[in-house]
Structure 1
């Protein structure tokens, strides 16, 4: 899938939060896709139609941005392009949770990527969200499956072990490193990376492509940690971008830790 992505060089329309824009763009460039950040209601429909996939990240929400996201999402639906929702902080405030529900009601979302607390909030289950970090005391696989079934999408629930399911197929990914949680923007970038990989496959293969993307992402983090563990989080953040660009298809396969 990685070689296919680099050959296709898909355009990924990112409507993401202001905290992570540059980091997301650099990460998407590193893996071989072309990011574009467009937010104005006057152009989002055209951009979403032209792009290979659309990422909706509600990290810094507003009423105006939500309206633009829905316009973009409907345009992507009409063009047959996958829509990825990152419900950042869902469950932390009613405002964020309501925005996610509004998007999920009006847009056919292909993939929802979030932590356990955020995903639980989307389906009315019990989770804890502090700021934009979330946790869950319970069965994460059950939460992921409920999200997938309730919204007819692929659920990507990230944590110590990442859970990816479309309600029928289940993938458990053990790649990654805890230092990813020490760098702002790594979760948001993952949403973009998932968008890039699923843009290269048919809808029936979204779950498998998402699992590949999450495993690839985690493997790059493992390599970055090995190089920078004696230097610190800042060095890790930069080397992680490097490893996203340097990691080959063969290396990713060798490092792959996926149960299906």
Structure 2
């Protein structure tokens, strides 16, 4: 029997505590992501007090993969990078016990060659796998239903297979949606309410969340604190989206307001 889900938002003391740790420790996080999301990812991380490096300049994948506080691998980075660089970064991280995040962007959209590469990455020991409902379902062995990078199924449909994925990969699985669901390998599930629909209209918002999860991993130890850390950054993201939406005139002003809101929330985290 699965444990009953619990709900946590940004006002929970544990969520605020993770935010304070990121601000205090300013973790170095290294990412391989796509050119569409790189700028927003860097700005999101800077807004919360982390120190990002993005890209595969010579030696970075091995050097930064081993020395960062955490790493995030955005599979869509294959549009401007290489599988070899991702494998080097993952191997370096694993060898140095650096936790890393996998974002299986567009998994299950009907491109078998790409899906096979994502599955290879998923089998290489990520601490966290985050994606939308279609991506998580497909990675767990369910139907391939994504429409490009967009989901076509509900979180409720994805949760059962997400639990299987978390258990089989011994990884935290985070499913983004109207309410984010964070699934731990031991069966625990936390639901994060809030957010705003405009997040889905900003290019790279989901990808940037992977970087923020990496920042949270960098300031926590493996064990019970890790799932809480993943919940905390989802809650921070949701609250910042709500704040940004209040004064947004459209998607562009929302995106700017969102980064501002992350910065303000971190500056005032108590």
Q: Same fold (TM over 0.5)?
A: yes
Offset of residue 248 of structure 1: 4.2
Q: How big is the shift at 1:180? A: 0.2
User: Which residue is equivalent to 1:86?
Assistant: 103
Q: CA RMSD in A?
A: 1.8
Written as runs of structure 1 = structure 2, the 5 A alignment for 1:111-260 is 111-136=128-153, 139-167=157-185, 168-204=187-223, 205-228=225-248, 231-248=249-266
Tell me how far apart the structure 1 counterparts of residues 258 and 118 of structure 2 sit (CA, whole Å): 29
CA drift at 1:147? 1.5
Aligned counterparts of 2:81 and 2:55: Cα–Cα separation in 1: 13
3-state DSSP of counterpart to 2:76: coil
Q: Which has the higher contact order (CA 8 A, sep 6+)?
A: 2
CA contact (8 A) 1:14 1:56 kept: yes
Question: What is the CA-CA distance between 1:243 and the residue it aligns to?
Answer: 0.5
Q: Distance in 2 between matches of 1:124 and 1:41?
A: 35
The answer to whether the 8 A contact 1:9-1:32 is kept is yes
TM-score for both structures, normalised by structure 2? 0.87
Q: List runs of 5+ in structure 2 lacking aligned partners.
A: 1-17
Distance in 1, matches of 2:191 and 2:114, equals: 28
Change over 3 Å in CA distance of 1:249–1:162 after alignment to 2: farther
Q: 1:13 aligns with which of 14, 22, 30?
A: 30
| CA offset digits 1:207-245 (Å, max 9, x no partner) | 1100011011110000000121xx111100111010010
Q: 1:28 to 1:248 in 2, by over 3 A?
A: closer
Aligned position for 2:121: 103
User: Per-residue CA shift, 1:80-122, capped at 9, x if unaligned?
Assistant: 11110000000111122111111122x2110000000001111
Per-residue displacement from partner, 1:8-43 (whole Å, max 9, x unpaired)? 100110100111111110110000000001314633
Q: How many corresponding residue pairs?
A: 249
The structural deviation recorded for 1:249 is: 7.7
